[in-house]
């Protein structure tokens, strides 16, 4: 038969491949547990470590901990929802003493593992332990979750500071509006926008603050579309609050020759017309949690709060075209917030 | 000088995987000769001509043109050497004019532009010289199939062809058009052109050819002069055994009316009325033939009767029972068998096995299935019986239908329809594309089914087939029946009616 | 009039020109047999290796890590003890395989009816939502009826969702590729609304996060390998295997399958045979959607239990189903094998490319590159077939040398 020779050939090739792999792989040892005394793991959410923001920045904190504290680290990326549990499993299996979950999406999975493994410490970025699934309805942390620490950020404070610059710039350019492009309508996003909006109105009460959501943290095109929509409505400055997706917002600002404001990390170099960035030091949070845990001072069952005062929040590089006077104005707001004279709201 | 050889092909051999298409074939063609290449489908005629035309390369053998050995790497080489070929499927560009199509690739130019006037002038000269009447300025999309063929011939002549290969040229033509083609061939012949005429139709070969070369299974069987050759002798050479060419049948003994069509009106997909008030009856034990040129409503008429298309008005009765809102399913269940005009596109699922194809109508009934559960073993068992009974060759019940030869595919279709024991059998172009042996078988089978008492409606574009099989002949022209005849009517009379040459007789 | 041996080999190919996409593909499958899919996969892995090499890593080591990461090294020392890393990894790979089998069948079944179901993702999501809703809303039922209710409801929902596309094709001729893609988006945005802030299915415990409720314990599928609640391998795996059998039985042993295949190969001949083409288009799409909806149900009740709005656009198993079906040539066995290959690849690349060897962000991208190459080569079948056929065509020339001219005279 004509084809049978071809089939045999292919089968032979396939068989050879299997044999080679089998011999090569069969001898391989299962990965051994880390020798170092303390291992910390970080599990990303589906934004992944390549999101140029939220997840990537936490990875930075993990890497700093590795070099400064001499701990072993495991960075576990979740490419899909079904990777969450195996990543926790893998972290614990490989001897992690502290597992940091990068965001609220991981909360239910972290809760399950925290309950099953009371001897391992868990932290979660951007999520308070005083809520479900870690606490009862009154906000009291359940006994099973005394090994979980929330890492929360007063992003409203940084939002306020970039709002000051945004308002000044919009007024100078004769604009009637500024905008914010959120990822999802969730508290960790809205807290930024709340501070931004509050302080924009402090500077220029008549400016409209446009708030829309892309419903995505990854796909830049979605943020770009929403951003263009806001630009069409007259926004002169756009604050992106959508992680990797928000790079699309910055690009839209570039394209329209208006100004963009980065979020989470210093995104000054991610686009041409970045006014400044609202910086949330999630890397510091990860680092601090690891430092505490390694030193045996882990505060399970409570939140670690990061704000302007302790340096967990801040602003990134300010564009040179911003007048010195505006920066001074912004710093005066910062001083007022740190001293407690100015209370910035945390929700819209 | 009439005996001068212009072309010799010697010892041509061509193999395809698993088959030898040409095996040591010789062919010589004289100047001013019409040389017919006769053979069944798959006998190797087209392969041989494709080698001559530079489309295939022979594995062995040589080609001598005017005594000089030539080798063609492509059709361009062959054209350059004075060989032209008109394929079965025309290769014209519909949106361009006749003249543009003819000069395409070798255009007379004015600078960078096509010199339309020169092109038209040259085309007109050529067409007058060979009496190939065609308007050079007409768009190809507007001309008839017969005219398209003339354009193809002109295209070859324009490129300086001395040897013209015509691949089954009459397959697409009406009898009148075929007659005109023969006139053209004769005038080309008078001008000293040599024609290689590929065909499997004995009658026309005997009418037009000077010499006839017969191929069978890739081998040359013989080359004979027309004088002395008969249909029977040629058929024997082609098939390799005695072939009964005349359909032998007893006079019909019509019984009850089994199929009755009353004032049927059918629109095609674009809403154009294609069948305009057709009425006729077919009785048990008779064959009613519908003659007509392609596109005069045959397809729509068949589809409406078989429930594949909705009719606008009128009625179809099977054995006296009117079928309203008929579907294909209802018609099948009412006892209408249908040999469709295109067995590959409609009659068979080529990827299905023969067994599955035989079950195509009845898979949903016992014994093939019960409560939706199919019994493949029963399908296979039944197919095995039918394959034996109808002598289907080339595959078993589990072979794919697409792997069979055309004749055997048609046998599967016919076997399926007849095995269902239908009251009415509609046979649309049942022998299209089949060779002599297969045609003989099918014709005999249709007659024997008539004698079984079935009502048979035969639709064919081959007038000869209609004339030889039918007990009554209806002529369909532009969606209407324009004539009814007994089979002793002359071919000319029907041919005229097929072209609308006679007013509809008063009823 | 025997089967003429001199019918030129082009004949079957010409015949196929007239058929549908499915018909042409079927012919190619016959032409390439087992060889082409195997070559496809091998070539993709070789090129994937080149990509790994270009990033400065040893491709053999990377593939070993993927192989082990997928738990396939389990066969060298099989154990049912889930504490073994290999066993755990294998259980996770099989969990992925479960979903991919069903999403693959969702594509394959429609394909056998001549349609290209791009909407597996949407049908999967709809199944996911409905399973979540039924699994939460009817808490307190006895487990078996609750599971049957949630699985059945989700399966029907998937069927209905795909049935829309079939209905549109049958009635107004809307091409199923366009309509299923649009239905995907409706499913995605519908889910974002359902689970989102203030949405009707958002969890009641913590209104600040856009995540659904958790499926009640009574609707959770029993885990047979691993730990319940920690994404162990649930009985859904056996349901998927059974679905493969059902798929093959429907197609080959029922009148329904006979009709589906006839319509898929040649709708005109099917109509001539008395088969209602429209009915079959709708029905085949619905059955396809049922497979995808079932996949959603098994994932939701088997290990996910809840779903967040951000998880929705990040999910892509429905699309991977297309690659699985294509690699598996739309057959039951092929789809099963294809699902295992992709399941292992998916899990193995994510969890096997060790973060200590390859930077995790790079490892994540390598995952996509290798997956992408496989999909690309599956799509490039035509090319491989072309080369394969060209090789066959070249053969007679060399063969003729052994038959000197005149030898057969």
Residue of C nearest to B373 (CA): C254
Preferred mutation among C215, C295, C350, C393 to probe A, highest tally of A CBs within 10 A: C350
Domain A39-153 has CATH 3.30.230.10: no
Assess whether pLDDT exceeds 60 at residue B227.
Answer: yes
On chain B, the residues whose CB falls within 8 A of the CB of C255 are: 363-364, 368-369, 372-374
pLDDT of residue A160: 95
Q: Tell me the ipTM for this assembly.
A: 0.80
CB atoms within 10 A of CB A286: 28
Preferred mutation among A60, A103, A105, A137 to probe C, highest tally of C CBs within 10 A: A105
As a CATH number, domain C32-383 is: 1.10.3470
Preferred mutation among C213, C360, C365, C395 to probe A, highest tally of A CBs within 10 A: C360
Write out the two tokens for A337: 């917030």
Kindly list the distances between the CA atom of residue A200 and the CA atoms of A180, A197, B279, B472, in Å, as whole numbers in the listed order. Answer: 11, 5, 86, 96
Of C1, C15, C403, nearest to B438 by CB-CB distance is C1
Write out the two tokens for B26: 């010789």
Smallest Cα distance from C33 to chain B, Å = 15
Assess whether pLDDT exceeds 80 at residue C20.
Answer: no
Of B17, B346, B349, nearest to C395 by CB-CB distance is B17
- Residue B413: pLDDT band with limits 50, 70, 90: very high
pLDDT of residue B135: 87
On chain B, the residues whose CB falls within 8 A of the CB of C393 are: 17
- Smallest CA-to-CA distance from B417 within B388, B441, B449, B392 is with B449
On chain A, the residues whose CB falls within 8 A of the CB of C206 are: 131-133
pLDDT of residue C329: 83
The domain segmentation of chain A, as residue ranges, is: 39-153, 155-280+318-339
On chain B, the residues whose CB falls within 8 A of the CB of C259 are: 363
- Residue C391: pLDDT band with limits 50, 70, 90: low
Smallest Cα distance from C4 to chain B, Å = 7
Assess whether pLDDT exceeds 80 at residue B470.
Answer: yes
User: How far, in whole angstroms, is CA A348 from its chain's centroid?
Assistant: 20
Whether A82 and C96 lie within 8 Å, measured CB to CB? yes
Whether B61 and C405 lie within 8 Å, measured CB to CB? yes
pLDDT of residue A26: 40
On chain C, the residues whose CB falls within 8 A of the CB of B43 are: 4, 6
Preferred mutation among C248, C273, C407 to probe B, highest tally of B CBs within 10 A: C273
The least confident of A118-132, C202-216, C239-253, C288-302 is: C202-216
B479 φ/ψ sector (left φ>0, alpha ψ -120 to 50, else beta): left
Whether A59 and C85 lie within 8 Å, measured CB to CB? no
What single DSSP character describes residue B415? H
φ and ψ at B477, to 5 degrees?
Answer: -135, 125
- Residue C380: pLDDT band with limits 50, 70, 90: low
Smallest Cα distance from A15 to chain C, Å = 11
∠C139-C140-C141 over CA atoms, to 5°? Answer: 95
Q: Which chains touch B (3 or more CB pairs under 8 A)?
A: C
The least confident of B19-23, B210-214, C283-287 is: B19-23
Q: If DSSP codes are grouped into helix, strand and coil, which group holds residue C74?
A: helix
Smallest Cα distance from C64 to chain A, Å = 6
B82 touches B157 (CB < 8 A): no
Burial class (CB in 10 A: 0-12, 13-18, 19+), C405: middle
CA C292/CA C156 separation, integer angstroms: 10
As a CATH number, domain A155-280+318-339 is: 3.40.50.2300
Angle between helices C35-54 and C59-69 (to 10 degrees): 120
Residue burial C216-251, b: 16+ Cβ < 10 Å; e: rest: bebbbbebebbeebbbbbbbbbebbeebbeebbebb
Q: Which chains touch A (3 or more CB pairs under 8 A)?
A: C
Q: If DSSP codes are grouped into helix, strand and coil, which group holds residue B185?
A: helix
pLDDT of residue C388: 59
User: How far, in whole angstroms, is CA B81 from its chain's centroid?
Assistant: 31
Of B360, B368, B393, nearest to C3 by CB-CB distance is B393
C395 and chain B in contact, CB less than 8 A:
yes
Torsion angle of the four alpha carbons B243, B247, B248, B251, in this order, in degrees rounded to the nearest 10: 180
A145 and chain C in contact, CB less than 8 A:
no
Whether A108 and C214 lie within 8 Å, measured CB to CB? yes
Assess whether pLDDT exceeds 90 at residue B246.
Answer: no
Of A49, A89, A90, nearest to C364 by CB-CB distance is A49
Between B and C, how many CB-CB pairs are < 8 A? 169
pLDDT of residue C397: 37
Assess whether pLDDT exceeds 50 at residue C49.
Answer: yes
Q: What residue ranges of chain A have pLDDT lower than 70?
A: 1-36
Do domains B5-239 and B248-335+422-507 share one topology? The answer is yes
Whether A77 and C60 lie within 8 Å, measured CB to CB? no
Write out the two tokens for C380: 């490039």
pLDDT of residue B1: 46
A251 touches A224 (CB < 8 A): yes
pLDDT of residue C22: 53
Of A17, A49, A78, nearest to C361 by CB-CB distance is A49
* pTM to 2 decimal places: 0.79
Whether C364 and A215 lie within 8 Å, measured CB to CB? no
Assess whether pLDDT exceeds 90 at residue B15.
Answer: no
Mean pLDDT of chain C: 83
Mean pLDDT of chain B: 88
Residue of C nearest to B304 (CA): C272
C125 and chain B in contact, CB less than 8 A:
no
Smallest Cα distance from A331 to chain C, Å = 31
Smallest Cα distance from A307 to chain C, Å = 21
Residue burial C294-329, b: 16+ Cβ < 10 Å; e: rest: bbbbbbbbbbbbbbbbbbbbbbebbbbbbbbbbbbb
Higher pLDDT, A10 or C309: C309
On chain B, the residues whose CB falls within 8 A of the CB of C13 are: none
Mean pLDDT of chain A: 87
B343 and chain C in contact, CB less than 8 A:
no
B18 and chain C in contact, CB less than 8 A:
yes
CA B249/CA B447 separation, integer angstroms: 7
Give pLDDT tens digits for C75-114: 888 888 888 888 999 999 999 999 999 999 999 999 999 9
Write out the two tokens for B118: 């020169």
CB atoms within 10 A of CB A37: 10
A189 touches A156 (CB < 8 A): no
Give pLDDT tens digits for B64-84: 999 899 988 888 889 999 999
pLDDT of residue C367: 67
| Cβ-Cβ contacts under 8 Å for B456 (sequence gap 6 or more) | B282, B286, B287, B288, B424, B425, B426, B427, B446, B449, B450
What is the β-pairing status of strands B109-110 and B113-114? antiparallel
Residue of C nearest to A103 (CA): C209
Q: What is the CA radius of gyration of chain A?
A: 24
Write out the two tokens for C375: 């999909």
What single DSSP character describes residue B345? I
Whether A76 and C360 lie within 8 Å, measured CB to CB? yes
Assess whether pLDDT exceeds 80 at residue B486.
Answer: yes
Assess whether pLDDT exceeds 80 at residue C356.
Answer: no
Assess whether pLDDT exceeds 50 at residue B158.
Answer: yes
Q: Which positions 206-235 of A are in contact with C (Cβ < 8 Å)?
A: 215-219
- Residue C42: pLDDT band with limits 50, 70, 90: confident
pLDDT of residue C104: 96
Percent of chain B with pLDDT over 70: 97
pLDDT of residue C372: 78
Assess whether pLDDT exceeds 50 at residue C402.
Answer: no
As a CATH number, domain B5-239 is: 3.40.50.300
Q: Mean pLDDT, to the nearest integer, of C293-321? A: 93
Domain B248-335+422-507 has CATH 3.30.70.2190: no
The least confident of A341-345, C28-32, C45-49, C119-123 is: C28-32
Residue of C nearest to A88 (CA): C230
The domain segmentation of chain B, as residue ranges, is: 5-239, 248-335+422-507, 341-421
Give pLDDT tens digits for B324-335: 778 999 999 999
A86 and chain C in contact, CB less than 8 A:
yes
CA contacts within 13 A on the Cβ side of C327: 32
Assess whether pLDDT exceeds 90 at residue C355.
Answer: no
Whether C354 and A7 lie within 8 Å, measured CB to CB? no
């Amino acid at each position: 038969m004509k084809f049978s020779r071809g089939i045999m050939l292919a089968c032979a090739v396939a068989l050879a491949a299997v044999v080679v792999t089998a011999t090569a792989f069969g001898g391989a040892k299962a990965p051994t547990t880390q020798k170092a005394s303390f291992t910390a793991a970080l599990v990303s959410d589906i934004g992944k470590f390549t999101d140029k923001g939220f997840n990537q920045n936490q990875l930075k904190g993990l890497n700093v901990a590795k070099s400064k504290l001499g701990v072993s680290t495991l960075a576990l990326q979740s490419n899909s929802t079904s990777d969450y549990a195996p990543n926790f499993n893998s972290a614990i299996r490989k001897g992690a003493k502290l597992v940091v979950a990068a965001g609220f999406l991981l909360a239910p999975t972290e809760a399950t593992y925290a309950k099953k493994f009371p001897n391992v410490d868990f932290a979660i970025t951007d999520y308070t332990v005083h809520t479900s699934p870690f606490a009862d309805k009154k906000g009291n942390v359940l006994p099973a979750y005394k090994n979980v620490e929330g890492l929360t950020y007063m992003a409203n404070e940084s939002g306020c500071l970039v709002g000051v610059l945004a308002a000044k710039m919009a007024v100078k350019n004769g604009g009637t509006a500024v905008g914010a492009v959120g990822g999802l309508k969730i508290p960790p996003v809205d807290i930024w926008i709340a501070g931004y909006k509050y302080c924009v109105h402090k500077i220029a009460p008549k400016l409209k603050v446009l708030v829309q959501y892309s419903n995505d943290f990854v796909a830049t095109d979605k943020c770009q579309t929403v951003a263009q929509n806001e630009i069409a409505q007259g926004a002169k400055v756009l604050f992106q609050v959508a992680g990797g997706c928000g790079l699309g917002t910055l690009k839209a600002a570039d394209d329209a020759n208006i100004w963009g404001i980065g979020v989470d990390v210093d995104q000054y170099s991610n686009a041409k017309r970045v006014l400044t960035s609202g910086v949330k030091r999630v890397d510091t949070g990860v680092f601090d949690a690891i430092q505490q845990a390694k030193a045996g001072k882990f505060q399970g069952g409570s939140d670690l709060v990061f704000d302007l005062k302790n340096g967990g929040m801040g602003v990134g590089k300010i564009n040179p075209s911003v007048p010195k006077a505006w920066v001074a104005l912004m710093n005066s707001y910062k001083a007022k917030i740190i001293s407690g004279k100015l209370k910035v709201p945390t929700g819209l | 000088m009439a005996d001068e050889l212009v072309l010799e092909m010697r010892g041509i051999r061509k193999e395809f995987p698993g088959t030898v298409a040409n095996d040591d074939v010789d062919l010589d063609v004289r100047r001013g000769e019409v040389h017919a290449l006769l053979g069944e489908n798959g006998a190797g005629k087209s392969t041989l001509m494709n080698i001559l035309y530079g489309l295939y390369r022979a594995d062995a053998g040589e080609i001598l043109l005017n005594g000089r050995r030539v080798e063609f790497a492509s059709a361009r080489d062959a054209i350059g050497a004075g060989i032209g070929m008109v394929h079965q499927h025309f290769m014209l560009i519909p949106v361009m004019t006749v003249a543009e199509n003819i000069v395409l690739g070798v255009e007379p130019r004015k600078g960078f532009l096509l010199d339309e006037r020169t092109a038209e002038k040259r085309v007109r000269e050529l067409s007058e010289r060979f009496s190939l009447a065609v308007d050079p300025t007409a768009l190809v999309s507007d001309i008839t199939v017969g005219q398209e063929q003339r354009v193809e011939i002109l295209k070859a002549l324009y490129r300086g062809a001395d040897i013209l290969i015509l691949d089954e040229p009459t397959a697409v033509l009406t009898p009148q058009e075929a007659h005109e083609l023969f006139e053209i061939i004769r005038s080309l012949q008078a001008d000293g052109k040599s024609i290689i005429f590929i065909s499997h139709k004995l009658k026309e070969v005997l009418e037009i050819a000077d010499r006839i070369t017969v191929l069978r299974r890739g081998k040359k069987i013989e080359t004979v002069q027309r004088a002395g050759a008969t249909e029977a002798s040629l058929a024997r050479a082609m098939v390799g055994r005695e072939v009964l060419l005349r359909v032998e049948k007893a006079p019909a003994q019509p019984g009850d009316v089994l199929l009755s069509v009353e004032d049927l009106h059918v629109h095609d997909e674009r809403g154009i009325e294609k069948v305009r008030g057709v009425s006729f009856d077919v009785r048990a034990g008779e064959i009613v033939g519908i003659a007509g040129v392609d596109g005069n409503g045959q397809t729509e008429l068949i589809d409406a009767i078989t429930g594949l298309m909705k009719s606008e008005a009128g009625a179809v009765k099977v054995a006296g029972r009117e079928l309203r809102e008929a579907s294909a399913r209802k018609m099948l269940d009412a006892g209408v068998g249908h040999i469709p005009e295109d067995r590959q596109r409609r009659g068979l699922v080529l990827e299905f096995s023969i067994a599955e194809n035989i079950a195509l109508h009845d898979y949903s009934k016992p014994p093939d299935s019960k409560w939706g559960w199919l019994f493949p073993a029963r399908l296979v068992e039944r197919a095995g019986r039918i394959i034996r009974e109808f002598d289907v060759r080339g595959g078993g019940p589990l072979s794919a239908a697409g792997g069979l030869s055309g004749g055997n595919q048609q046998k599967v279709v016919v076997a399926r329809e007849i095995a269902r024991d239908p009251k009415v059998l509609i046979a649309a172009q049942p022998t299209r594309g089949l060779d002599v042996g297969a045609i003989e078988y099918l014709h005999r089978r249709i007659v024997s089914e008539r004698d079984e008492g079935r009502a048979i409606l035969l639709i064919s574009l081959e007038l000869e087939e209609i004339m030889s099989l039918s007990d009554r002949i209806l002529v369909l022209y532009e969606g209407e029946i324009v004539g009814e005849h007994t089979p002793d009517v002359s071919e000319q009379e029907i041919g005229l009616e097929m072209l609308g040459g006679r007013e509809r007789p008063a009823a | 009039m025997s089967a003429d041996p001199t019918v030129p080999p082009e004949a079957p190919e010409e015949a196929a020109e007239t058929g549908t996409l499915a018909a042409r593909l079927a012919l190619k499958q016959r032409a390439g047999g087992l060889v082409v899919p195997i070559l496809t996969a091998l070539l993709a892995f070789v090129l994937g290796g080149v990509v790994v090499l270009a990033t400065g890593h040893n491709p053999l080591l990377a593939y070993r890590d993927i192989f082990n990461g997928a738990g396939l090294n389990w066969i060298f020392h099989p154990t049912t003890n889930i504490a073994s890393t290999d066993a755990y990894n294998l259980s996770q790979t099989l969990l992925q395989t479960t979903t991919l089998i069903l999403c693959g069948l969702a594509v394959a079944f429609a394909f056998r009816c001549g349609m290209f179901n791009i909407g597996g993702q949407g049908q999967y999501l709809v199944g996911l939502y409905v399973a979540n809703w039924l699994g939460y809303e009817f808490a307190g039922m006895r487990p078996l009826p609750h599971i049957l209710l949630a699985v059945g409801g989700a399966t029907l929902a998937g069927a209905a969702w795909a049935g829309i596309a079939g209905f549109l094709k049958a009635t107004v001729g809307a091409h199923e590729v366009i309509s299923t893609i649009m239905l995907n988006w409706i499913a995605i945005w519908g889910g974002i609304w359902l689970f989102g802030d203030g949405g009707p299915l958002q969890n009641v415990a913590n209104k600040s996060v856009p995540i659904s409720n958790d499926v009640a314990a009574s609707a959770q599928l029993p885990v047979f390998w691993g730990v319940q609640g920690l994404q162990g391998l649930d009985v859904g795996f056996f349901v998927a295997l059974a679905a493969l059998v059902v798929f093959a039985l429907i197609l080959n042993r029922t009148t329904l399958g006979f009709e589906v295949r006839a319509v898929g190969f040649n709708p005109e001949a099917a109509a001539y045979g008395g088969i209602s083409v429209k009915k079959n288009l709708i029905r085949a799409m619905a059955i396809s959607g049922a497979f995808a909806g079932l996949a959603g149900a098994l994932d939701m009740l088997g290990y996910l239990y809840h779903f967040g709005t951000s998880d929705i656009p990040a999910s892509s198993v429905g699309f991977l189903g297309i690659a699985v079906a294509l690699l598996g040539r739309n057959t039951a066995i092929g789809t099963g094998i294809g699902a295992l290959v992709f399941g292992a690849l998916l899990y193995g690349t994510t969890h096997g490319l060790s973060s200590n060897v390859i930077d995790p962000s790079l490892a994540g991208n390598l995952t996509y590159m290798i997956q992408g190459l496989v999909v690309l080569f599956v799509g490039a079948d035509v090319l491989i077939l072309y080369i394969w056929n060209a090789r066959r065509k070249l053969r007679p020339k060399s063969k003729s040398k052994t038959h000197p001219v005149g030898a057969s005279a």
